[in-house]
Amino acid sequence: MKRFTWFTFLYLALGVCLTAIALGYPNLSSGLQTSLFISAGVSYLVCLFSTFPFWRETAIRFYRRRNSLVIAPWLVVGFIIVWMIWEVQSQNWTMEAFLQVLSWLLVVLLQAELIVITWQVNSEH
């Protein structure tokens, strides 16, 4: 049975936005455009995988095995957000800088989903 969550739709929305940006700016460098397309494709795959039960079960199994790493997703999200702001600021807030860090939003979403699954598991017990 397929299970849709808010994160399923967030992954889909991220993929659509990255694709639209890559197609909407034809004057982007080919490397940046390729990076956006790859990130969009990975986002679509994660969107698809997140609808299957094994996705949540794998996260729960990982959480139970490594209970001491509960803070890891929080640290990853914090580090990536600080790094994204630093990267954009160091390049004088240019459009290219924003587009380069957009690919990291998928990692932030994945970590946020782990945090939510952890909360749900903790509230069930």
How many angstroms separate the CA atoms of 9 and 16, rounded? Answer: 10
7 near 116, Cβ under 8 Å? Answer: yes
pLDDT band at 2 (very low <50, low <70, confident <90, very high): low
Tell me which amino acid residue 5 is: T
Does residue 63 lie in a domain region? yes
Does residue 27 lie in a domain region? yes
Structure-derived torsion over alpha carbons of residues 42, 48, 54, 56, reported in degrees to the nearest 10: 80
26 near 44, Cβ under 8 Å? Answer: no
Q: What is the pLDDT of residues 25-71, one digit of tens each?
A: 888 888 889 999 999 999 999 999 989 888 888 888 877 776 656 78
Look at 1-10, 16-25, 71-80, 109-118 and tell me which has the smallest mean pLDDT. 1-10
Which among 49, 24, 52 has a CA at the least distance from the CA of 37? 24
Does residue 80 lie in a domain region? yes
Number of structural domains found in the chain = 1
Does residue 1 lie in a domain region? no
